[in-house]
């Protein structure tokens, strides 16, 4: 019975090959469904820049939490946690394997560690905080909640603002509230895919070039007519840089270069976060075929 086994959670930095490994694993298991833990793939109409699984793959294997949120909506980590736990239960009721795949660190955190349902977002307070310099916000976070400041990257504006928002709304630090929270109910087999850094950067750059050939700029031009700069989706890597090109901030060549550099930085932050997650079984995929990687995973779960 799949429900009696730990749930495979395939994680790792962007560009490492998680999607292909998860798809092949699901195909070999035969009765599996994939839950995406990617904070960009949830948005409708953002296809090329998010590198979503192909339509053919999604028709062959059920995929969840892809193309499920409107462009102008806000989707939080707590929304993901609620939806993911519900889907896991539903998949297990069908006597299927649930496979979770993703690189969004906060999504991984809410499934692997303690998490609390904090106060609802206060749009006015967020606007006030976001208007201040980021280094000033981070300095304030270090003063009131040094534990969170160690865990949150100094450039991670979204999480810094949220931590300060929670403190101002509750009078209690977010780290203290997280200590009081409960762990998720499911057992997870955490499988981390890693890769030589130089090789990973080359893969990322090639993928960006391929996205441009596939029409990423056209996709962004279409979205520019439909999405507000204040929207969560607007700020996604691969999109915000091309929005800046369309707004005359950068040349197209500079925007493409920025996409690559920002994606390298994002991958490095993911690595840093995942290295702190206990109990991950790491697999170096630098020179290994996806089929070989999947065989190793199968030996772990069966």
Q: Retrieve residue 284's tokens.
A: 């170096």
E strand map for 185-301:
188-194, 281-284
Together in a domain, 155 and 92: no
User: Over 70: is that where the pLDDT of 182 sits?
Assistant: no
Residue span of the structural domain in which 78 resides:
2-114+182-301
Q: Retrieve residue 183's tokens.
A: 């762990």
Provide the 10 A C-beta neighbour count for residue 81: 19
Average pLDDT estimate for 128-147 = 94
CATH of the domain at 73: 3.40.50.300
Average pLDDT estimate for 99-118 = 84
Question: Looking at 141, 157, 180, which one is the last position of a domain?
Answer: 180
Together in a domain, 217 and 73: yes
Together in a domain, 61 and 144: no
Q: How confident is the model at residue 219 (pLDDT cuts 50, 70, 90)?
A: very high
CA atoms of 108 and 88, how far apart (whole Å): 15
Query: CB-side exposure of 142: number of CA atoms within 13 Å?
Result: 9
274 contacts 193 by C-beta, under 8 angstroms: no
Together in a domain, 109 and 230: yes
| Percent above pLDDT 70 for the chain | 96
- Specify the pLDDT at position 253: 97
User: Over 60: is that where the pLDDT of 3 sits?
Assistant: no
Together in a domain, 8 and 149: no
258 contacts 241 by C-beta, under 8 angstroms: yes
* Number of compact structural domains in the chain: 2
Q: How do residues 20-67 score in pLDDT, each as one tens digit? A: 999 999 999 989 999 999 999 999 999 999 999 999 999 999 999 999
Q: Taking the complete model, does pTM exceed 0.85, yes or no?
A: no
Provide the 10 A C-beta neighbour count for residue 242: 24
208 contacts 261 by C-beta, under 8 angstroms: no
CATH of the domain at 155: 1.10.20.140
Question: Looking at 180, 206, 222, which one is the last position of a domain?
Answer: 180
Together in a domain, 174 and 207: no
Question: Looking at 180, 206, 226, which one is the last position of a domain?
Answer: 180
Provide the 10 A C-beta neighbour count for residue 103: 24
Together in a domain, 100 and 216: yes
Q: How do residues 233-260 score in pLDDT, each as one tens digit? A: 999 999 999 999 999 999 999 999 999 9
Q: What is the mean pLDDT of the chain?
A: 92
């Amino acid at each position: 019975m799949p429900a009696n086994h730990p749930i495979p959670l395939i994680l790792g930095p962007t560009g490492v090959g998680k999607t292909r490994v998860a798809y092949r694993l699901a195909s070999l298991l035969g009765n599996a469904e994939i839950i995406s833990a990617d904070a960009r793939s949830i948005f409708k109409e953002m296809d090329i820049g998010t590198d979503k699984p192909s339509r053919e793959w999604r028709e062959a294997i059920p995929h969840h939490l892809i193309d499920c949120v409107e462009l102008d909506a806000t989707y939080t980590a707590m929304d993901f946690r609620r939806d993911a736990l519900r889907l896991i239960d539903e998949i297990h009721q069908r006597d299927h394997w649930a496979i979770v795949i993703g690189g969004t660190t906060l999504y991984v955190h809410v499934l692997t560690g303690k998490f609390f349902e904090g106060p609802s977002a206060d749009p006015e307070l967020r606007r006030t905080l976001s208007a201040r310099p980021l280094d000033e916000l981070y300095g304030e976070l270090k003063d009131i909640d040094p534990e969170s400041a160690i865990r949150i990257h100094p450039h991670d504006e979204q999480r810094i603002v949220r931590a300060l928002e929670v403190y101002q709304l509750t009078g209690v630090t977010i780290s203290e509230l997280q200590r009081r929270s409960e762990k998720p109910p499911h057992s997870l087999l955490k499988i981390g895919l890693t890769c030589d850094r130089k090789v990973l950067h080359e893969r990322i750059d090639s993928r960006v070039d391929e996205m441009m050939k596939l029409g990423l700029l056209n996709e962004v031009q279409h979205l520019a007519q439909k999405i507000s700069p204040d929207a969560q989706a607007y700020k996604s890597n691969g999109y915000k840089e091309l929005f800046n090109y369309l707004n005359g901030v950068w040349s197209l060549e500079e925007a493409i270069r920025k996409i690559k550099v920002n994606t390298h930085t994002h991958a490095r932050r993911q690595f840093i976060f995942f290295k702190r997650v206990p109990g991950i079984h790491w697999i170096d995929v630098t020179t290994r075929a996806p089929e070989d990687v999947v065989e190793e995973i199968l030996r772990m779960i069966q």
